[in-house]
Amino acid sequence: MSTQIKTCFNGCSFTYGEGFNLHERNQYTYEKVLSKEHNWNSTNIAVKGSSNYTIFLRSAEAIQSQQYDIVFTQWSALNRIWFSPGPEVHYFVNDLTHPDYTYRDLYISPKDKKKLNELLLILNHDYQNIIDLISYCNILQQLAVVNKSRAVFINGLIPWQEDLIQILDSNLNQSLSSYSKIIFDFKNRSDDEIIKYFLKLQQKISTLDKNLWVNMFESFSENTCDIAPAGHHPGVESHQWMAKQITNYLGEL
């Protein structure tokens, strides 16, 4: 009798199953679809609104627990930041649910919160966030080897494009994607500056084991084809698409 594979799924609201009620989450999220299809004993530790740093910490703890054969880590938006003004209390940028914020004697009005978030996003550039994300992946990979587990990465909301791993053409305007032009501040930097930062970032990306990625440059968010019943998150067909990508990925190894 074969031993049932134990899997852990971590991420943000996409993996949590935001937009579905509890009954629907237990039926339609890609984690549940995969677990039923492959007869896995799965655990979902995803938390809505998670930053990639908090996702990294949860995946590291899951791997170190040595409870799982595979830990699937779905990465979220690059510029999410979490703050903690008190014990088990959080404030995170990109929270569109609450227009204002209150904690004890602290009150941030909708106007001030909007200005604060805009400033924090300006100070939190994707270039460094990509470098940090790559470090998270490499650390989780090493932890998985030590703890005899397996790390698998899923692109949930990362907007990077494949040009970042390709040879840079002399015509930078044609060689760079729209997203890369944004992170390199294309309109305001010289070609020499752009090339310097591009090569540094490309060298960092080259340290990634791309074989650990289900959909490195084909994000879940870009392939959302339907909406969940109670919100703007991926719906039933979108979760089925994600489950199929993972099944195909595992079958190719």
Residue range 189-230, pLDDT digits in tens: 999 999 999 999 999 999 999 999 999 999 999 999 999 998
Q: What is the pTM of this model?
A: 0.94
Average pLDDT value for the chain: 95
Among 165, 163, 160, 102, which residue's Cα sits nearest to residue 127? 160
Domain ranges of the chain: 6-81+125-161+210-252, 82-123
- The fold of 6-81+125-161+210-252 is Rossmann fold (3.40.50)
Half-sphere exposure of 184 (CA within 13 A, CB side): 27
Give the containing element (helix H, strand E) for 100: none
